[in-house]
Amino acid sequence: MQPSAIRNPSDKVMQEFFQDTSPYAIEAIPLVVPRPEHGISRANISENALKVLYRLKQENFQAHLVGGGVRDLLLGHEPKDFDVATDATPEQVRQVFRNCRLIGRRFRLAHVHFGREIIEVATFRGTTTSDGDENDRQMENGRILRDNTYGTIAEDALRRDFTVNALYYNIADFSLIDYADGLEDIKAGRLRLIGDPEQRYREDPVRMLRAVRFACKLGFTIDPKSEEPLFRLGHLLADIAPARLFDELIKLFHSGYGLGVFEKLRQYGLFGQLFPATEACLAREDHGFPITFVSRGLANTDKRLHEDKSVTPAFLFGVLLWEPVRQRFEEYLAGGEAASEAMFLAASEICSRQQSLVAIPKRFSLPMREIWSLQPRLEQRDGKRPQRLVTHPRFRAAYDFLVLRADAGEADPELAAWWTRFQEASAPERASMLEGGGAKRRRRRPRRRKSGESAGAGAEATGPVDGG
């Protein structure tokens, strides 16, 4: 790959750029790689993204593919989506495309719809700070609250997060434009923030989560200067809107690399910022079943995603929050509550604390709570209960959850095995299983009052426990 122009901005220049004092970056000379010298082919770009790019060009706007699409194509991965950057304003984009909707207040964007595919079209972001106009960039304590100041492609490039996300594929001549040494970092497998890392994390703390996600997804190492603040700045996540954190967590844990993400988030102390109650349990019992349970749950989710099977946030958050719920449940049981009431109280308590950090929409939190509330009910195998339970809409998820608990050494493996057999059994076989008195083999007695026993202790004796 022969560079047509070389540019090497020093860290100092970058820092000045981000303090909006230096005109340098606006005049920065990018590395431009002509079509024959890079591997991006139109054959690998979605037809709809190409339509958007060509149409904008036809209207005399600049149009580039940017972000994850370019990055993933260079790495030989299939891009998840295609993002377009242009000098057309969102309103101008809307005038060009009938199938277009403008979204976002914090960061105004145009979405061009083609059936199920959405091409995201962003206007180049600029660097001027707010003059009070509500459409401008607004800052608070170093954090960007709103960023709707438009600028040039050079400014846009340096406002992006990682160098590997700031590469542009120019539809005008099919060249690749690199303002931030992104190509070098792609080759080195390195994730590096553009500009001063701490300042960039403070501007938008979600970039810390994005660092973890891209490191896991791409198998890249995080450059030491970009990595170091991750250990210190996790507390900034408390300022992020809970709804945005929910969306980001789904991207993190439903990426197919959830287990790696979990381990990295814990390594940087970020997991505890997002799930303090869970982290407290994990920190106490680093080698016990809670960590095995979460790890296996995430590994299962990754496996399902790699097999193109469906996954749901209800199960994911059910797994991530189970240990604090279970501990509170045990405490309520010990205090004399009946199992169903104990579970209701424990779930309400943990959910309301969690909700202030990460907003789990009701359509996921309700089935999540059902999965939990079915756990003690799966222990009741007397009478007609099992027959009724298998018809419950959440039975399958609750059963999978029980199997996971048993595999992690927390629940009784015999109970999980009984339910496996029961589901597979014919009607007469089921009848004999029920007569066989499954209920008598119940380990826990959920309705017994004033129980001082912990289910965990017993389970550890019978089930496999992660020895680290």
- Cβ of residue 407: shortest distance to ligand ATP, in angstroms? 31
161 is catalytic: yes
Residue 207 in the binding site for ligand ATP (CB under 6 A): yes
For the chain, the three-class secondary structure string (H helix, E strand, C coil) is CCCCCCCCCCHHHHHHHHCCCCCHHHHCCCEEECHHHCCCCHHHCCHHHHHHHHHHHHCCCCEEEECHHHHHHHCCCCCCCCEEEECCCHHHHHHHCCCEEEECCCCCEEEEEECCEEEEEEECECCCCCCCCCCCCEEECCEEEECCCECCHHHHHHHCCEHHHCEEEECCCCCEEECCCHHHHHHHCEECECCCHHHHHHHCCHHHHHHHHHHHHHCCEECHHHHHHHHCCHHHHHHCCHHHHHHHHHHHHCCCCHHHHHHHHHHCCCHHHHCHHHHHHHHHCCCCHHHHHHHHHHHHHHHHHHCCCCCCHHHHHHHHHHHHHHHHHHHHHHCCCCHHHHHHHHHHHHHHHHHCCCCCCHHHHHHHHHHHHHHHHCCCCCCCHHHHHCCCCCHHHHHHHHHHHHHCCCCCHHHHHHHHHHHHCCHHHHHHHHHCCHHHHCCCCCCCCCCCCCHHHHHHHHCCCCCC
| Complex with Mg ion: residue 67 or 90, whichever CB lies closer | 67
Residue 379 in the binding site for ligand ATP (CB under 6 A): no
- String of contacts with Mg ion for each residue 109-138, x by CB under 5 A: ------------------------------
Residue 68 in the binding site for ligand ATP (CB under 6 A): yes
Residue 80 in the binding site for ligand ATP (CB under 6 A): yes
Residue 206 in the binding site for ligand ATP (CB under 6 A): yes
| Complex with ligand ATP: residue 73 or 316, whichever CB lies closer | 73
Residue 167 in the binding site for ligand ATP (CB under 6 A): no
Contact partner at residue 165 from Mg ion, ligand ATP, none, CB < 5 to 8 Å by partner kind: ligand ATP
Contact partner at residue 7 from Mg ion, ligand ATP, none, CB < 5 to 8 Å by partner kind: none
Contact partner at residue 161 from ligand ATP, Mg ion, none, CB < 5 to 8 Å by partner kind: ligand ATP
Binds ligand ATP (CB under 6 A): choice among 155, 161, 178, 279: 161
Residue 77 in the binding site for ligand ATP (CB under 6 A): no
Question: Which residue among 72, 147, 161, 181 is the active-site one?
Answer: 161
Binds ligand ATP (CB under 6 A): choice among 163, 165, 292, 365: 165
| Complex with Mg ion: residue 75 or 439, whichever CB lies closer | 75
- Cβ of residue 210: shortest distance to ligand ATP, in angstroms? 6
Contact partner at residue 326 from ligand ATP, Mg ion, none, CB < 5 to 8 Å by partner kind: none
Residue 155 in the binding site for ligand ATP (CB under 6 A): no
Question: Which residue among 81, 136, 400, 466 is the active-site one?
Answer: 81
83 is catalytic: yes
Binds Mg ion (CB under 5 A): choice among 9, 30, 68, 297: 68
Contact partner at residue 370 from Mg ion, ligand ATP, none, CB < 5 to 8 Å by partner kind: none
Residue partners of 247: CB distance under 8 A and separation at least 6: none
Residue 377 in the binding site for ligand ATP (CB under 6 A): no
Residue 296 in the binding site for ligand ATP (CB under 6 A): no
Which are the catalytic amino acids?
81, 83, 161
Q: Residues interacting with Mg ion, by CB under 5 A?
A: 67-68, 81, 83
